Structure 1
Amino acid sequence: MTLTRRRTLALLGGGMVVAASASAGTFLATRTPQRALQPWQAAGGYDDPRLFALSYALLAPNPHNRQPWLVELEGSDAFVLHRDTTRDLPHTDPFNRQIFVGLGCFLELMTVAATLRGNAAEITLFPEGRDGPVAHVRLMGGASRDPLAGSILDRRSCKEPFEDRPVPDSAAADLAAYGVVITDPETVARIKSLTWEAWLTEMHTHRALKESVDLMRFGKAEINANPDGIDLGGPFLESLMLAGVLTPESQLDPQSTGFKEGVKMYETMLHATPAYVVLTTAGNDRADEIAAGRRWLRLNLETTRLGLALHPVSQALQEYEEMTPHYGAAHRMLAKPGETVQMLGRLGYGPGTARTPRWPLETRILNG
């Protein structure tokens, strides 16, 4: 997560945080967690076609950046995908629905990347039953390059306010293959209200909030040491840390300045949204969740190709007790009877954002 200079100064009330000294300037200029971002540079740098595709797959979006994938190589052309159960989110994702959506994103990005080498992916879900591995994958030749492959390294989840301009009808039509694009002002206003109220509910549900705060990585050293979770880095955020404004304790204290100003900034971001996109499924078993993740990944690549920005706003879709009213409202508003809303995203024109930290591929291979 990064902050613009304007947003950081707003949080500080315009005050100075770090002394204007040469040493402070040097410190702040070197806050990029290069080691945690290295997997983006390493993507595609493998001779083995499986590792080649997997090195891109691990860049896939996933809930709270938990990266819940483990891979077991098999023979010379196959691998088995396992779910890393230590990466679950028991308070905000008690049924692991979002985790499996993230695994679907991983599988689809792997499939897209494999085509860069002319390979297709033969995927068998749950080869040993629903309690076993997530998928068995075999790569084989004969595939043409996926038209979305060129957007892989530019894909982001943009957690920033969007520009005040509409999503063109032509772009909405292009995205209709993946989900329902909502642009009419009345419905957009209703969804803004829903996402804001749901976000506030999570912020004031202590166990849900603490799950997120416990996964926050404060500053370059923490991000490099644990390149998953919610990264809070960059020179301005580290200024706040040095000033004692941004701490784990402040993020859990609704009375703190950091908490209150964070709420204001998030409200600004959520309301600066011209359109939404919704992904639903007729059912809600694990295969449906993985299929939704695969569609979400392609949607994210397509928005990137079109010059648009996408940001998942999942709080209202979470399935813990305090979120029940918002979950019900989301389904009444966005789904047909019996359907499940798997993903809801803000859609619009946003600024460029930084890459998200990742664990190196070698740490995700069980038998590499």
Structure 2
Amino acid sequence: MVSRRQVLMTGGASLILLGGGFGAYVGTRSVAKAQAPWKQAAEGFGDPRLDALAYAILAPNPHNRQPWQVRLAGDDSFTVYCDLAKRLPYTDPPNRQITIGFGAFLELFRQAAAEKGYRADIEPFPEGEPEPVLDERPIALVTMVKDPSVPRDPLFGAILNRRSTKEPFDPRPVEDEIFAKLQTLAFAGQSGSSISLATTSDADRVAKMRALSWDAWKVEYETPRTQKESVDLMRIGAAEINANPDGIDLGGPMMEALRLGGVISRKQLATKGSNAYETGITMYEEMLGKTSSFGWLTSPGNSRAMQLQSGVAWVRINQAAAMLGLAMHPVSQILQEFPEMAALYDRYHDYVAVAAPARVQGFFRFGYAATPEPSPRWPVESLIMNV
């Protein structure tokens, strides 16, 4: 694996001189503005609806697109819509992953509302389930009802600690007893859910899943339109991240140095054979190679309602993992529904013995790693639609 130091050295003589003023400059580049919504959620607004929405926007979602839009009604209700410009037409053609993100958004809202003593009455797809893609119809109608008896969710306290850890993990596998605790925490109070989680730390199964994951990642990376979709959404350096706190953030001193030294740009990331392009391959290969445990989320069908339910389970598993000190990272390329992925999609479903109409809705790495910084977010006020 090429070290970060070696990556910097290959960028030219200017990057060798990372001491002095240049090194000091890149060390001062902050993304605090883009991360401010995490702090704002903890502080609140003094309005129960906005307070709960401040937690909802921290939900995991594909490519960090944050596609939610909210139209407020009265003092206690709102309708949730999809910002159609934030769909992923190449890697997520049917908008399945985007819909799962909305399930996570609604679940965090429900938890945060309960913490304030409100019941969140959620009506999914009040005008029908949009097919074959999401459209202008609403995702959900939500009403807050004051209810002192509403139970607080034990996972609420983990919202601010939830992460998708896109780094190599410690090589030790997750113990079976930890996975059992994860199941208990994530699905507590979810007796009506039809979504299930399977996990494994078996060395042979993990090796097979690593190989399938690697093959799938290469398909996405080497298919021009799907790779470009990701590259176009990359925010390189603090200035871009703060200006557009969504998409795939590439921040920190190393990225600032690479950007300023002319080593990394969207053009270079998209150019096969470039240092930036090849380093992306090497880094992801190392990350997958240091994975000793996997989990996958299965639904009995694939309706829009079940996709929302999968999002509920997804974020609850992520919260439970945070409470247990586990790192979690979705590696769901193999579940994407574009033609070049079809053979691997079928092979993976055969391997985990999931047959239609059931399907795997999420595939994850689990392990142990340092907790990364929170992902950038748009502030709550940016998602409120004008009447």
Please indicate the TM-score interval, normalised by the length of the shorter structure.
over 0.9
| SS at structure 1 position matched to 2:144 | strand
Whether the aligned pair in 2 keeps the contact of 1:18 and 1:243 (CA below 8 Å) is no
Counterpart residue identity of residue 124, structure 2: L
Output aligned runs, 1:22-33, within 5 Å: 22-33=20-31
Distance 1:78 1:305 in 2: 31
In structure 2, give the amino acid aligned to 1:9. R
Q: Whole-Å Cα distance in 1 between the matches of residues 151 and 3 of structure 2?
A: 44
> Which residue of 2 is the match for residue 147 of structure 1?
154
Shift of 1:311: 0.1
Aligned partner letter, 1:345: F
Deviations 1:95-135 (A, max 9, x none): 00000011111111111122221222111111122242110
Do the aligned partners of 1:18 and 1:242 also contact (CA within 8 Å) in 2?
Answer: no
Displacement of 1:19 in angstroms is 3.1
Residue 221 (1) aligns with residue 239 (2): yes
SS at match of 1:354: coil
13-22 vs 211-220, greater mean Cα deviation = 13-22
Residue-by-residue CA offset, 1:123-149 (whole Å, 9 max, x unaligned): 111112224211011112232321011
For residues 118 and 335 of structure 1, do their structure 2 counterparts lie closer, same or farther at Cα, with a shift above 3 Å needed? farther
Which residue is equivalent to 1:129?
Answer: 128
What displacement does 1:188 show? Answer: 0.8
2:216 matched residue in structure 1:
198
Distance 2:105 2:81 in 1: 11
Supply the distance in 1 between the matched residues of 2:73 and 2:232 (Cα, whole angstroms).
35
Residue identity over aligned pairs, in percent, reads 46
Deviation track 1:164-203 (CA, whole Å, cap 9, x = no partner) reads: 1121211111233451111111111110000000001111
The runs of 5 or more residues in structure 1 that have no matched partner are 1-5
CA distance in 1, matches of 2:275, 2:81: 42
Residue 169 in 1 paired to residue 176 in 2?
Answer: yes
Q: Tell me, in whole angstroms, the C-alpha distance in 1 between the residues paired with 2:308 and 2:64.
A: 17
* TM superposition shift of 1:335: 4.0
The aligned residue for residue 251 of structure 1 is 269
1:77-101 deviation per Cα after TM superposition (whole angstroms, max 9, x unaligned): 1111111111010000000000001
1:155 offset after TM fit, Å? 0.6
Equivalence for 1:365: 384
Distance 1:264 1:81 in 2: 40
**1:182–1:275 contact (8 Å) kept in structure 2:** yes
Is 1:289 paired with 2:307? yes
Amino acid at match of 1:33: V
In structure 2, distance between residues paired with 1:25 and 1:8: 15
Which one-letter code corresponds to 1:31 in the other structure?
R
CA distance in 2: counterparts of 1:63 and 1:108, whole angstroms = 16
Match of 1:341 in 2: 360
Give distance in 1, aligned partners of 2:280 and 2:86.
Answer: 26
Aligned equivalents of 1:307, 1:101: Cα separation in 2: 24
The 3-state SS of whatever aligns with 1:179 is: strand
- Asked if 1:270 corresponds to 2:268, the answer is no
TM-score by length of 2: 0.90
Determine if contact 1:31/1:234 at 8 Å carries over to the other structure: yes
Please tell me whether residue 34 in structure 1 is matched to residue 53 in structure 2: no
Corresponding residue SS for 2:58? coil
Aligned to 2:370: 351
CA distance in 1, matches of 2:111, 2:219: 37
> How big is the shift at 1:333?
1.4
1:329 Cα deviation after fit? 1.2
Which residue is 1:65 aligned to? 64
Quick one: distance in 1 between partners of 2:16 and 2:254? 10
State the alpha-carbon separation in 1 of the partners of residues 104 and 259 from structure 2.
33
Over 3 Å counting, the alpha-carbon distance change for 1:20 and 1:167 in structure 2 is: closer
Tell me what 1:3 maps to.
none
Q: What SS does the corresponding residue of 1:43 show, helix, strand or coil?
A: helix
Q: Quote the offset at 1:219 in angstroms.
A: 0.9
**Deviation for aligned residue 1:276:** 0.7
Conserved 8 A contact 1:39-1:359: yes
- 1:237-279 CA-to-partner distances (Å, cap 9, x unmatched) read 1111122221111111121112112211110001111111100
Q: Which runs of 5+ in 2 are unaligned?
A: 131-136, 188-195
- Asked whether the equivalents of residues 72 and 79 of structure 1 are also in contact (C-alpha less than 8 Å), the reply is yes
Matched residue type, 2:337 = E
2:7 equivalent to 1:11 = yes
Could you tell me whether the CA contact under 8 Å between 2:302 and 2:359 is conserved in 1? yes
Distance 1:180 1:10, change over 3 A: farther
> 1:145 and 1:332 mapped to 2: Cα distance?
39
Question: Does the Cα contact within 8 Å between 2:8 and 2:257 map onto a contact in 1?
Answer: no
Number of residue-to-residue matches in the alignment: 363
Q: In structure 1, what residue type is equivalent to 2:368? A: Y
Contact 1:70/1:81 (<8 A) preserved? yes
Q: Distance in 1 between matches of 2:231 and 2:60?
A: 19
SS in 2 for 1:128: coil
- Residues 279-288 or 129-138, more deviating: 129-138
RMSD (Å) for aligned C-alpha atoms: 1.6
Q: Is the 8 A contact 1:18 1:239 kept in 2?
A: no
